[in-house]
Amino acid sequence: MKPSIITCSLLIIFLLFTSTISANTFKAYITPSFSASFLKFIDDSGTFLTSPNGTFKAAIFNPGAQQTSFYLCIIHVASSTITWSANRNRAVSNSGLMNLTLKGITISDKNGNNNPVWSTPPLRSQVDRLVLTDMGNLILLDPSNVSLWESFRYPTDTIVIGQRLSVGSSLSSSSSDSDLSPGNYNLTITSSDAILQWFGQTYWKLSMDTKAYKNSLSTVEYMAVNTTGFYLFGSDGTVPVYLVTLPVSNFRVATLDNYGHFIIKSFSFGTGWKQEFVGPDDGCGTPLACGRVGLCTDYDDPSSSSSSSSSSSPVCSCPQNFRVGSGNSGGCVPSNGSYSLPFSCNNNQSNSSLVVPSFLSLGNGLDYFHNIYSDPVMDSVDLSSCQDQCSKNCSCLGVFYRNSSGSCYVIENELGSILSSNNGANQDMFGFIKVSLGSTTTNDGTRDGETSQDGSGQFPVAAAVLLPVTGSTLLVAFLFFWWRRSIKSSKRQDMNKFGKTNNNNNPHSSGDLDAFYIPGLPRRFDYEELEKATDDFKTLIGSGGFGTVYKGVLSDNAVVAVKKIVNIGVQGKKDFCTEIAVIGNIHHVNLVKLKGFCVQGRHRFLVYEYMNRGSLDRTLFGGGPPLEWQERYDVALGTARGLAYLHAGCEHKIIHCDIKPENILLHDHFQAKISDFGLSKLLSPEQSGLFTTMRGTRGYLAPEWLTNSAITEKTDVYSFGMVLLELISGRKNCYFKSRSHSVDEDSNSGGRGGGGGGHNSSSSSMPGLIYFPLLALEKHEEGSYMDLADPRLEGRVTNEEVEKLVRIALCCVHEEPALRPNMAAVVGMLEGGTALPQPRIESLNFLRFYGRRFTEASMIAEENDENGGTPQGNSSSVTSGGSQVALVSYISSQSISGPR
């Protein structure tokens, strides 16, 4: 394989379908008669048209990689984001056809006897060409270049720069990532505002958002984004009525997500998506934040009082007289099984609505999102008049009553979540939900009559699963701040915190847990399901700090890696699920995808997508054929991209804390995927001590772990630099060669005899003993990089190629975290877009100290070996010595993974 770094740097693609860009899909326009289907363009994953500079493509596409629903989509290539879809109401199968004729575009399903499921409206004249512009507009042109039809005039859930959403029109959310049909949330532009609605109930207005700035009193004409901001433009089309100024970005979208958030975000190479504006921005702001009738409490995170308001954590529970509903939709149902929740009159329900309704009290101190944006239906009335008003109206599902003013608010059409204020406001606001007698089977599949109320029958976390809502961005925010705070505080405090958490959430005293569920969890598996999938845990494919990993095949034939978590610190189901919700919502092509989890009794499992090439350490250090240079390069770049995304791309920073070859998994074409991100928080304090030691022993531990300085994303950069050095040399950074012969005793050296040629430098000071990072520093000073390359690559890599990676690696391992580049910069260096940096020798001198310590340590270890002492025992007994910490962290490299 010839290195082709230039080609590589051209293809900076972050999400899925990276491999699909090939030169032959670059078509400037198409003419009638033309037809396209997914199957016809399967090599290009359905792409039949590309914009002139390749920014956008048009494709018959299956979002979410499912195989049943295909849409004609316009896709932003670099971010793999769908900005428009034609047939969102009616998907076609993979054999569905798009036809371009003189009359326009039609989409039909082959087995649907050619009746189009979608078509462009009748046009003024005949079509000459179909073009896709670099802004992402699909345009039908007539022979004199006049536009007959444009996709920009029919927005779905997103607008891009150059597109307008005019007054009276709406964006509507998609049902899910794989089903583009309209969901239940609308963003509508009125003559004075932009409003979000759910079944006719308003839950956000731009005019009431503190982040927006009112600039003019004229009436609103349209909404737009450009490279510098977000605007509602006034009637003359030039003066903004409302504006939100944003950082300069060349690609920005305003979109309504599947959970009802209106989001403005920008995309750039290197860092991925950056969220810039979200409405509503509090965790309880969306209508289903806690499911139907769920009680949402928005605790402000005390640690973030100095920072902005966007870090809050919604907690869900059920109001009085209600309990967690079973079934998949979450939400709460009446605790008294004789009652059921009503349906609005436009829903056909048999006879139970004929029963005279009564009202279940939710208690006081509550509110409902719509009340904030609407006027009461009546004022100065008593409660029973308010309830009567509701009883008479079949679309009324509940009332809120303010005692002090006698104001009566009604909930119409659909029941959302209830808001609870934790600051004592709204004490005189009372909530009531209309219920009818009779235990009917309700929409969410609950058979009210049969569920036990003593909590023994239902699995507590059942309700936590698959809530149709995610406050996960906020959860991530909260968790990040929580995590950062706990890192900042001393270890001892941390222990207390953990200890307390454990006691509160002892799995055998679940109790309260029934009242909680967490938005955004991925799929939940039964233990039995996993037992079956793994054939009773037959095929062990790995083991690590968290437990063992088994290969399995799910009922839909998806191959998975099932990770059995043992002895984790976070034992409470709720805490565990909270972590899972965070991890499950991080998606990137270079991060291993969490498909689901299992929490049952004492069992804790995580289900990941399966990586067919195993982990990097096995490929790199194992006895098989050596990785080619280009493959190593691709692994480095993929890993860097994944880390850059964790650090900056997913809005709220995630620090991995455990980057090492064991956690870098390989897929086809040596695509690197990082695993175990977000898991370090699941460890118990005792374990995190062990964990830290283990991490240090392997040599990926940044100096700040030892000096108690703040752990930042630069800690991961250090570990990445260490991995990069191992990719260069093809072996562990710390290893022995035996005194008596030249065969390595490094546990990882496998069948590789006689390696390490050219490693007898003065730096290793003893024959056969290598501390590679120091060797790299010395060779860098000499300028002889070839000595560092894996000798198995002889002749197949150039000095310049090695120099590039060595210099990047050395910059990553600077002792001073501030001098290390961030991961986005590392991506730029690897791709070639950013100039190669010069390592700062003054911040690398610590390697000489470590190298010396390593030498001494190795002698101790060898003595131990001769004495037959158990290495692990030794390392833990030395750990207590403060000044010896640095020493220990390099001793135990041998103690744990060394001579056996």
d(CA 61, CA 39): 10
Q: Is 375 exposed, middle or buried (0-12, 13-18, 19+ CB in 10 A)?
A: exposed
- Based on the residue annotation, tell me whether 617 is a catalytic residue of this protein: no
Per CB under 6 A, the list member of 31, 228, 361, 742 interacting with ligand NAG is 228
Per CB under 6 A, the list member of 32, 104, 229, 756 interacting with ligand NAG is 229
User: Judged by CB under 6 A, which stretch of 68-76, 106-114, 631-639, 782-790 contacts ligand NAG?
Assistant: 106-114
Q: Strands, E, within 738-823: which ranges?
A: 769-771
Full DSSP string of 236-270 = TSSSEEEEEE----SSEEEEE-TTS-EEEEEEETT
**The one catalytic residue among 257, 281, 617, 658:** 658
18: helix, strand or coil: helix
Q: Give the nearer residue to ligand NAG in terms of CB position, either 249 or 364.
A: 249
105: helix, strand or coil: strand
Q: How many residues bind ligand NAG (CB under 6 A)?
A: 33
**For ligand NAG, what does the binding mask look like between residues 200 and 219, x meaning CB under 6 A?**
x-------------------
From 574, 566, 560, select the one nearest 530 (Cα to Cα): 560
CB of 106 to ligand NAG, least distance (A): 5
Tell me the one-letter amino acid at 413.
N
CB of 201 to ligand NAG, least distance (A): 9
User: Judged by CB under 6 A, which stretch of 220-228, 290-298, 530-538, 609-617 contacts ligand NAG?
Assistant: 220-228
Strand partners, 118: 107
Angle made by CA atoms 214, 219, 220, in degrees to the nearest 5: 75
CB of 298 to ligand NAG, least distance (A): 24
d(CA 233, CA 30): 35
CB of 258 to ligand NAG, least distance (A): 13
d(CA 870, CA 868): 6
Phi, psi of 496, deg, nearest 5: -60, -45
d(CA 93, CA 38): 9
Cα–Cα distances in angstroms (integers) from residue 492 to residues 114, 625, 878, in the given order: 70, 47, 20
d(CA 859, CA 44): 58
Q: Is 373 exposed, middle or buried (0-12, 13-18, 19+ CB in 10 A)?
A: middle
Footprint of ligand NAG on 140-179 (CB under 6 A): 144-145, 170, 172
Per CB under 6 A, the list member of 97, 195, 734, 770 interacting with ligand NAG is 97
Q: Give the nearer residue to ligand NAG in terms of CB position, either 221 or 575.
A: 221
- The single residue listed with the structure tokens 């503190």 is 210
User: Judged by CB under 6 A, which stretch of 148-156, 224-232, 259-267, 641-649 contacts ligand NAG?
Assistant: 224-232
Per CB under 6 A, the list member of 46, 96, 116, 520 interacting with ligand NAG is 116
Q: Give the nearer residue to ligand NAG in terms of CB position, either 50 or 197.
A: 197
User: Judged by CB under 6 A, which stretch of 151-159, 225-233, 291-299, 834-842 contacts ligand NAG?
Assistant: 225-233
Is the distance from CB of 257 to CB of 246 less than 8 angstroms? no
Overall size of the chain counted in residues: 900
Tell me the one-letter amino acid at 275.
Q
Phi, psi of 345, deg, nearest 5: -65, -25
Q: Give the nearer residue to ligand NAG in terms of CB position, either 119 or 747.
A: 119
CB of 872 to ligand NAG, least distance (A): 54
Per CB under 6 A, the list member of 4, 31, 227, 845 interacting with ligand NAG is 227
By beta-carbon distance, which residue lies closest to ligand NAG? 134
Residue 564 annotated as part of some ligand binding site? yes
**For ligand NAG, what does the binding mask look like between residues 816 and 845, x meaning CB under 6 A?**
------------------------------
Is the distance from CB of 635 to CB of 604 less than 8 angstroms? no
CB of 99 to ligand NAG, least distance (A): 4
d(CA 746, CA 732): 8
- Using CB under 6 A as the binding rule, whether residue 226 contacts ligand NAG is answered as yes
Is the distance from CB of 896 to CB of 694 less than 8 angstroms? yes
Q: Give the nearer residue to ligand NAG in terms of CB position, either 12 or 16.
A: 12
d(CA 793, CA 560): 33
CB of 269 to ligand NAG, least distance (A): 9
Q: Give the nearer residue to ligand NAG in terms of CB position, either 200 or 624.
A: 200
Residue 271 in tokens: 């860092």
DSSP 525: -
CB of 123 to ligand NAG, least distance (A): 15
145: helix, strand or coil: coil
Phi, psi of 371, deg, nearest 5: -55, -35
CB of 188 to ligand NAG, least distance (A): 7
Q: Give the nearer residue to ligand NAG in terms of CB position, either 450 or 782.
A: 450
Is the distance from CB of 597 to CB of 524 less than 8 angstroms? yes
Sign of the alpha-carbon dihedral angle for 753, 757, 760, 763: negative
From 544, 563, 599, 568, select the one nearest 688 (Cα to Cα): 568
CB of 333 to ligand NAG, least distance (A): 13
**For ligand NAG, what does the binding mask look like between residues 312 and 351, x meaning CB under 6 A?**
------------------------x-x---------x-xx
Q: Give the nearer residue to ligand NAG in terms of CB position, either 184 or 600.
A: 184
Residue 629 in tokens: 């240079």
Cα–Cα distances in angstroms (integers) from residue 71 to residues 151, 501, 841, in the given order: 14, 47, 55
- Using CB under 6 A as the binding rule, whether residue 139 contacts ligand NAG is answered as no
Q: Give the nearer residue to ligand NAG in terms of CB position, either 240 or 638.
A: 240
Please state whether 417 falls in left (phi above 0), alpha (psi between -120 and 50) or beta.
beta
Strand partners, 13: none
d(CA 832, CA 633): 12
Full DSSP string of 523-537 = EE--HHHHHHHTTTT
User: Judged by CB under 6 A, which stretch of 222-230, 320-328, 389-397, 826-834 contacts ligand NAG?
Assistant: 222-230
Tell me the one-letter amino acid at 825.
A
Footprint of ligand NAG on 601-640 (CB under 6 A): none
CB of 24 to ligand NAG, least distance (A): 19
**For ligand NAG, what does the binding mask look like between residues 25 and 64, x meaning CB under 6 A?**
----------x-----------------x-x---------
- Using CB under 6 A as the binding rule, whether residue 113 contacts ligand NAG is answered as no
- Using CB under 6 A as the binding rule, whether residue 186 contacts ligand NAG is answered as yes
- Using CB under 6 A as the binding rule, whether residue 135 contacts ligand NAG is answered as yes
Binding residues for ATP: 564
* Site of interaction with ligand NAG (CB under 6 A): 35, 53, 55, 97, 99, 106, 108, 114, 116, 134-135, 144-145, 170, 172, 184, 186, 197, 199-200, 226-229, 231, 240, 250, 336, 338, 348, 350-351, 354
Catalytic residues: 658
Binding residues: 564
